[in-house]
Amino acid sequence: MKEIEERLNEEKQRMAVMTAPADFENRLRTALDATPARKTKRRNPFIMMAAVSVLCFLLISYNYNAFAYYGKKIFGFEEIMTGTMKDLNDKGMGQIIDKKTTLSDGTVLTIDGIMTDANQLVMYYTLSNPKGVGELWGDVFNPDKITGFFTNARAGGGMAKVNDSGTEIKGTTYFDPVSPFSKKLTLHFWQGIKNGEGSITFPYDPNKAMQTQIKQSIKEKVKVDKGTITFKTITATPTSTVIEGKMDVDNFDRIHFGFEGVKLIANGKSIDNLGSGVSGSKFDLRFDGLPQELYSLELAFNEFVGYQKLAEQIPLNDDTHHDLEGKDLWVKKVTTTERGVEITIETDENLLLDGVSIQSDDKVTALKTTIGQRLDKKTDRFTSERTMVFDTNSMPEYLLIKGIHYVKKYNQKIEIPVD
């Protein structure tokens, strides 16, 4: 009789070489695709509390002034500041914090300063360790969120730079805006490879927050092929400009294009896009700060996802080019394998075929799955090559396509009145 552990060990070896079955990905993807798209609604549990506190606030008539600012300049971050942030810093719009804490690996974290307004909080920090801070500062220090009174601001992006000797990192992190009712803020972060939690609390003076320049409603609707987009408000602060709205567009996520084709034009010049976020039906587009002297402001709705209905019946041959209402489709290879019939095609990166099936004689087989997508950089654009798999063995004569999702030019302009 063998020892128990030995036998358990043998079983362990057997398990260790066990791999997931070949159809693992397929089955899980099918299950996932059958799940209706999740509509995330971010409810703010603090809204009622905030409303009540505003009332209290008025009652006790606390003399609060968020619009005056007596800031300071934060030194040492010139290299990682964008143009707008640099200008603001030069004007002394920051708040010096200068609070230190030591992380689990001995690195000293200093919160040098912050800049706040109604759109965001920007934190400036330094990590220093004479033994070296490591190349991946993300392992040492990972900002998570800032909390405080009525505040739960999640970290967004950031920038950081390591000095030449590798002992110091200077970085910025962007957070959601913090409440003007907070007098103290706590930064929560992850540290070390094991992701231990850590936090540091520092005082905050909301009176030093920067003034909002413009906050007004837009209330303009744009109709697209598969729904509508409503631009609701614009909030411009010295550090950034945020446009918020709602959309109801069925095929929004069919291609990875998002809001790239929507530009903000001030005084005839395009404002840098800082990113966009979509949460369920709500979206926000972030742009850089607006120029101080503002004559005109408009939103250029140039391109967005569109849908074109087709009734194509394409004869199948290797290496052929076809025209889908002005869009290119290359059929590269048609083969039969143990998976079934495989057709390799290439199109523009942001084009997705809809209602695809193949036909041989009178038999029509719908698309089973698409595999092996590969992006390719052509001289003027990206293309996508992928292989469509059909669950049949008979060599098809035609490829049937009922429609395409693609980047469509809408070229609409929405003027935003400025005073």
Partner 1 sequence: MNVVVVRLVKKAKRGSKDALMELIMAEKDTMYRLAFTYMGNEHDAMDVLEEMIVRLYENIGQLKKEEAFYSWSKTILVNLCKTTLRKQKKVVLLDNWESSKEEEQLHSTDSNVQQLEIAEMLSILNEHQKEAIQMKYFLDLDYQTIAELTNIPLGTVKSRIFQGLRKMKDFDGGEGDERDRRTIE
Q: Which of 158, 227, 275, 277 binds partner 1 (CB under 8 A)?
A: 277
Candidate ranges 3-11, 126-134, 200-208, 407-415; the one touching partner 1 (CB under 8 A): 3-11
Q: Does 248 bind partner 1 (CB under 8 A)?
A: no
Binding to partner 1 by residue 28, rule CB under 8 A?
yes
Q: Of 27, 161, 363, 402, which one interacts with partner 1 (CB under 8 A)?
A: 27
Residue 260 contacts partner 1 per CB under 8 A: no
SS (H, E, C) 75-144: CCCHHHCCHHHHHHHHCCCEEEEEEEEECCCCCEEEEEEEEECCCCEEEEEEEECCCCCCCCHHHHEEEE
- Asked whether position 375 contacts partner 1 by CB under 8 A, the answer is no
Nearer to partner 1, 34 or 68 (CB): 34
Instruction: Specify burial of residue 272 (Cβ count, 10 A radius: 0-12, 13-18, 19+).
Output: middle
Query: 232, 244 in Cβ contact below 8 A?
Result: yes
**What element of type H or E holds 4?**
helix 4-16
For the CB of residue 142, give the shortest distance to partner 1 in the complex, in Å. 8
Q: Residues 194-213: x/- map of binding to partner 1 (CB under 8 A)? A: -x------------------
Binding mask 108-147 for partner 1 (x = CB under 8 A): ----------------------------x-xx--x-----
25 binds partner 1 (CB under 8 A): yes
Find the part of the chain contacting partner 1 (CB under 8 A) among 23-31, 69-77, 336-344, 401-409: 23-31
Residue 3 binding partner 1, by CB under 8 A = yes
User: Long-range CB contacts (< 8 A, 24+ apart) of 369-374?
Assistant: 369/26, 369/29, 369/30
Residue 405 class from Cβ within 10 Å (0-12 exposed, 13-18 middle, 19+ buried)?
buried
Q: Going residue by residue from 173 to 192, which x/- string records binding to partner 1, judged by CB under 8 A?
A: -----------------x--
